[in-house]
Amino acid sequence: MAAVTSRPQDVVGMHFFSPANIMKLLEIVRGDETADDVLATVMKLSKKIRKVPVLSRVCYGFIGNRMLGGYMREAQMLLLQGATPAQIDGALESFGMAMGPLAVADLAGLDVGYKARQAIPDLPDHPSNHVVDQLVESGRLGQKSGAGFYRYDPATRQRLEDPEVEPVIRAEAAALGIEPQSFSDAEIVERVIFPLINEGARVLDEGIAQRPGDIDIVYIYGYGFPAHRGGPMFYGTTVGLDHVYRRICDFRDSLRAEDWQPAPLLKRLAEAGASW
């Protein structure tokens, strides 16, 4: 948009989170030529409408949705490797997330990501998408259709485990040659949360986010990350960036290496014994 207007300094993005009347987070997206007075005006407007603004540079997904990719990928890889939807969501909710990743996917609509992937030309196939694609193509779109990873009581919308989902998961796992195994809640948390920290390090290194605290605000106010853990970047410092880095290297060596490349910033800080 900025490239085709005579006033690129006046172009700015405001990325609201759904449902916009409830969610507090507002990503303010700064273009290459966005003027400071425009940013100041939008920040003031954000506070007037009772939002919590965070400044982001331009990239696919901005801060929050860009980081979410690995989080959702690993939740769905864990399904193929033997964990159930209830176990994955239960582990993350016990950690403190407002909702587990698969319950969130059902709430948002499984067809949203399905259609988004279809709109990206030459998108490489990834096994993490196989189960959700099967669910969508069988008409299980999430809460709005009464069934997704779970089924939903039509009166209360309470989520219930659905025995029809497990055969779909196991058939896809068998087709991919994946043998089921068991996971502890702690393993599930590391598999799903550590990609957030790793991608957050890239977001910082590229200047998409100004500081780690901004990323933490995005996740607390936009994604239900437990406030008492301080956000993903702060949480990384509490468990130790060296530990996060080592575990990512372990996953790189034991899982899909292309999914688990350590962010250069995380590697540098871990090796130096430093923090953000």
Domains of the chain, earliest start first: 2-56 (no CATH), 75-175 (1.10.1040.10), 185-272 (1.10.1040.50)
Catalytic residue among 15, 126, 130, 228: 15
pLDDT in tens, 78-118: 999 999 999 999 999 999 999 999 999 999 999 999 998 88
The pLDDT score that the predictor gives to residue 41 is 98
The pLDDT score that the predictor gives to residue 132 is 97
pLDDT above 90 (res 159): yes
The pLDDT score that the predictor gives to residue 142 is 97
Please indicate whether residue 15 is annotated as part of the active site.
yes
First-residue to last-residue Cα distance in the chain = 34
pLDDT mean over 139-162: 96
d(CA 89, CA 91): 5
The pLDDT score that the predictor gives to residue 118 is 86
pLDDT mean over 157-167: 96
d(CA 90, CA 157): 18
**Does the pTM exceed 0.75?**
yes
Residues 6+ apart with CB under 8 A from 177: none
Q: What is the overall mean pLDDT for the chain? A: 97
pLDDT > 70: percent of the chain: 100
The pLDDT score that the predictor gives to residue 121 is 82
The pLDDT score that the predictor gives to residue 73 is 97
pLDDT mean over 252-271: 98
Strands 151-152, 12-16: pairing is unpaired
pLDDT mean over 173-198: 98
d(CA 137, CA 92): 27
Reported as a pLDDT band with limits 50, 70 and 90, residue 123 is: confident
pLDDT mean over 23-40: 97
